[in-house]
Amino acid sequence: MGRVGVMGGTFDPIHYGHLVTAEEARVHFELSQVLFIPNRYPPHKDLDGVSAPEHRYHMTLLATATNPDFAVSRLEVDRPGPSYSIDTIRELRQAYQADALFYITGADAILQVVRGAWEGSAELLTLCQFIAASRPGFPIDVHDLRRFNVTGHQLSNIHVIEIPALAISSTDIRRRVTAGRPIRYLVPEPVETYIHKYGLYGRAGGAQG
Ligand code: NAP
């Protein structure tokens, strides 16, 4: 049985915090590959200001191109409507019947699953394991999650990794671009070039230092 990482996110834009998270999860959990799945639209957010799915997909491709163990899927980008993770994981379960799936995303998002806030939360907790990436200063204790309506088996499917590089955030990067401040060393160079080329986040042209 293989072990496949599924890296779900809005990735607006993808940054080194995401890439370090995926690589750390790959090594720590002995994953054969990590499949990045940028969503079409996040189900839980005001869509105002979220970049077009194709832009986010292309930035994810550029950011992951040099890692042979990373791949990018169009599964959510091509599926009409908001991207419910349960639909994605059901599809992946069919495609990877012999493999264990590890859904990697931010710790906050995984706390929402445990609270039952996502469509099909209970089923999700049985279809895959979760790797919750936490930012420094925001630790989460899996045992604290016992107060929610989850079984011991479901809890044993949740793993937490602390990623210092997650001090980088997409929100901060968008604000920096809008304000004309540098994003070099926060995102891979081709992503920075793409952001400026297409004038994402409210500032067109002119590479920033
Ligand atoms: P979010 O709520 O904007 O982000 C929560 C936190 O997690 C942020 O700090 C974010 O940092 C970080 N984060 C997001 N993706 C990450 C990743 N793959 N690895 C490490 N940290 C990550 O997150 P989102 O991107 O919109 O949602 C995360 C995933 O959950 C997406 O795939 C989304 O479609 C899915 N989701 C599904 C449902 C549902 O099915 N009902 C509901 C909510 C979310 P950055 O802002 O720097 O990325």
- The Å distance, Cα 42 to ligand 1 centre, comes to 8
Does domain 3-167 fall under CATH 3.30.360.10? My reply is: no
By most ligand atoms within 8 Å of CB, the mutation choice from 26, 105, 135 for ligand 1 is: 105
Ligand 1 and 36: CB distance under 6 A: no
State the greatest distance between any 2 C-alpha atoms of the chain, in Å, as a whole number: 53
Q: pLDDT at residue 48 above 50?
A: yes
The answer to whether the beta carbons of residues 8 and 39 sit under 8 Å apart is yes
Task: Quote the pTM value.
Answer: 0.94
Q: Where are the domains of the chain?
A: 3-167
Question: Is-contact 128 6, C-beta < 8 A?
Answer: yes
Give per-residue pLDDT as tens, 18-32: 999 999 999 999 999
- Residue 73 token pair: 């899927």
Residue 1 binned pLDDT confidence (cut-offs 50, 70, 90): confident
The predicted-structure confidence for 87-111, as pLDDT tens digits, reads as follows 999 999 999 999 999 999 999 888 8
Cα of 109 vs centre of ligand 1, distance in Å, is 6
CB of 44 closer than 6 A to ligand 1?
A: yes
Structure tokens at 181: 């401040």
Distance 43 CA to ligand 1 centre (A): 10
Structure confidence at residue 32 (pLDDT)? 97
Amino acid in the structure at residue 119: E
The residues, ordered by sequence, that sit 6+ positions from 128 with a Cβ below 8 Å of its Cβ are 6, 89, 92, 93, 100, 101, 102, 103, 157
- Alpha-carbon span 100 to 178, nearest angstrom: 41
